[in-house]
């Protein structure tokens, strides 16, 4: 039996639109296929990337080591890999209530 959020062979890719310098960290809906995320951290010296990984780790209840930025380290549009989750599971967990 696979444990949810554990380091298994499954992985999923997220498309994200990051809005740095926001008043609070939060999910902000969708923009096409991408999930919009607002972060308080500024887009300076990798602070927003670190905040993004921390935010996703908290939202998904997984370790930061399971999350990796694949593309867009210096851009607002990013592709992020999350290990231990299926694509459907990620979409469910990151959908607004």
Indicate the burial class of 36 (C-beta count within 10 angstroms; 0-12, 13-18, 19 or more).
middle
Minimum mean pLDDT range among 3-7, 26-30, 82-86: 3-7
Give residues with Cβ within 8 angstroms of 2, minimum separation 6. 8, 10
Residue 4 domain-assigned? Answer: no
Query: Alpha-carbon distance 11 to 81, whole Å?
Result: 7
CATH number, domain with residue 89: 3.30.1200.10
Tally of structural domains, the chain:
1
The pLDDT of residue 92: 83
Residue 7 domain-assigned? Answer: no
Of 74 and 8, the structure prediction assigns the larger pLDDT to 74
Residue 75 domain-assigned? Answer: yes
Residue 29 domain-assigned? Answer: yes
Residue 10 domain-assigned? Answer: no
Rounded to the nearest 5°, which phi and psi values hold at 68? -140, 130
Boundaries of domain holding 87: 15-93
Residue 70 domain-assigned? Answer: yes
């Amino acid at each position: 039996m696979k444990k949810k959020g554990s380091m298994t062979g499954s992985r999923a890719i997220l498309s994200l639109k990051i809005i740095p310098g926001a008043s609070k960290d939060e999910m902000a809906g969708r923009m096409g296929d991408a999930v919009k995320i607002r972060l308080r951290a500024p887009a300076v010296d990798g602070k927003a990337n670190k905040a993004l990984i921390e935010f996703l780790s908290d939202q998904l209840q997984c370790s930061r080591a399971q999350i990796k930025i694949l593309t867009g380290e210096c851009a607002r549009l990013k592709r992020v890999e999350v290990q231990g989750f299926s694509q459907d599971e990620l979409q469910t967990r990151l959908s607004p209530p």
